[in-house]
Structure 1
Amino acid sequence: MTSSPGGTFGLEDTLKAILPEGKFGGPLPPVEQWNPVRSADIGMEIRADGSWWHEGGRINRERLVKLFARILRKDADGKVWLVTPHEKVIVKVEDAPFLAVRVDRAGAPGPEQELKFVTNLGDETLAGPEAPLRVETDAATGEPAPYVLVRGRLEAKLTRPAFYELVSMAVPSADDPDVLGVWSRGVFFTLGPAV
């Protein structure tokens, strides 16, 4: 793959490298194994509403956004990158890189049920030991901010409707009846105090 003039990230070249047949599907690229030497900052950002931006302009091509989502990686230092075998581009993320827009429950309610979350870009993740669900609470407002791990270190923030759906499935904790949570794949995830 070659970069565009000036050594910046070549969007069309990336499309050809990541999707040589021009089709989505199949396994995700092994971005965790790619460690390119070259890096760049080209003004990429993901805003809290899930929109993707480049140099101040919104990226409206859904296919391009989905491609970028496939090569997104969050490193241990918290930095988020678009990664190819040859180059990586920093992405500023306002909150979380994905939004969980839907939650579906499979199985009988209880510890063995499975909660599947679907993101705004079509990714699916099953909450459980490998994909924890967590809720942060704003100290000033008391407002909850729920997240689920999608892959690697990349999380999706639950939209308000998805969180309300999740709360409707909540049950009291066995350890403290004043705390509500949900089960998925044998793990109890605390959502917050019963009100």
Structure 2
Amino acid sequence: MAERDVKSNQNTAISLDDLLKQIAPDPSGRKLPPVDAWSPERSTDIDMEIRADGSWWHEGGQIKREKLVKLFSTILRRDADGSFWLVTPYEKVVVHVEDAPFMAVRVDVAGERGRDQQIVMKTNLGDVVVVGPDHPLRVETDPETLEPSPYVFVRGRLEAKLTRPAFYELAELAEPAPDGDEERLGVWSQGAFYDLGPAGT
């Protein structure tokens, strides 16, 4: 939510394990409920909303208790039709999502810069992902304004949109595409190249 929370690790060769320990000190991580396995018959709409800035709202009022928002985020599911739900074994509640359900607020780099680097992102709700095959990065470009909107896959069809400061951090790692097209820039992570868009945008 707060874009000022972005912190990039300036060490050039910190290991991925050491970096993850710094960002997510609990090695066991969070055990998430098996929301994909639950198929409750009852569904309801109680005016739950996640706005474009990552804030959560209920009946027009912002939910400001961070622990409650984090709890809700662990039972959030996106179905194949694009709909979002808070899911329990007994009921599911529709969630109206304006853009993406999470915000990526921190960008760090492990390993040697370039093709061997690993980019780690942390969301506003504490999820930590390493950009790569399991957590790909994608950028949508507005056809009129050419403004990029970068997203990283978190879990179960759920994505995090990078805040503007986080995208600037990412852009500092950009280099020309490996196919020789110097008009396009991107970043490497876990041996894969992710296109950020045309140079100069």
The aligned counterpart of 2:182 is: 177
- Superposed CA deviations along residues 102-130 of structure 1, whole A, max 9, x for unmatched, are 11000011223111110111111111011
- Tell me the equivalent position of 1:189: 194
Matched with 1:132 is 136
The one-letter amino acid of 1:146's match is: P
Distance 1:136 1:38 in 2: 35
Query: 1:84: how far off?
Result: 0.7
SS state at 2:115 partner: coil
Cα distance in 2 for residues equivalent to 1:156 and 1:27: 19
**Aligned counterparts, 1:38-187, within 5 A:** 38-175=42-179, 176-187=181-192
Q: TM-score, normalised on structure 2?
A: 0.83
Unmatched segments (≥5 aa) in structure 1: 1-24
- Percent identity, aligned pairs only, is 68
SS in 2 for 1:68: helix
Residue 191 of structure 1 and its aligned partner are, at CA, apart by 0.1
Count of aligned positions: 171
Higher relative contact order (CA 8 A, sep 6+): 2
Gap runs ≥5 in structure 2: 1-28
CA RMSD of aligned residues (A): 0.9
Amino acid at match of 1:181: G
Q: Deviations over 1:27-60 (max 9, x none)?
A: 1111111111111100000000111001111111
Secondary structure of residue in 1 paired with 2:48: strand
Q: Partners of 1:84 and 1:110 in 2: how far apart?
A: 43
TM (norm. structure 1) is: 0.86
